[in-house]
Amino acid sequence: MAIPIQLRRDTSENWALINPTLSEGELAYETDTGKMKIGNGSATWTSLAYLVPGSANAYTFGTTAPTGTAPSNGLYFQY
């Protein structure tokens, strides 16, 4: 049985207005821009950087771990 995972989500305007502190490792999604941020447990929404795949010092997504082995869940997430 598949277990769905839901991310915290809202519009960019609401995120900025509410300006929450995301828990460490918590992913949040802007429904109107398609951008995401990941919390560190202390910074507010407006202080966090967006996830930008492929840029320097950014988060990257892929299906192969750095060691060259595929992760058990089929998706690898690295910072």
Domain spans in the chain, listed from the N-terminal domain onward: 8-78
Whole-number pLDDT of residue 79: 43
pLDDT value for 18: 97
SS3 12: helix
Distance CA 53, CA 76 (A): 13
Q: Would you state the pLDDT for residue 60? A: 47
The one-digit pLDDT tens for each residue of the chain (79 residues) are: 888 888 899 999 999 999 999 999 999 999 999 899 999 999 999 999 998 765 544 554 444 445 554 444 444 444 4
Q: Exposed/middle/buried for 44, CB within 10 Å: 0-12, 13-18, 19+?
A: middle
pTM: 0.64
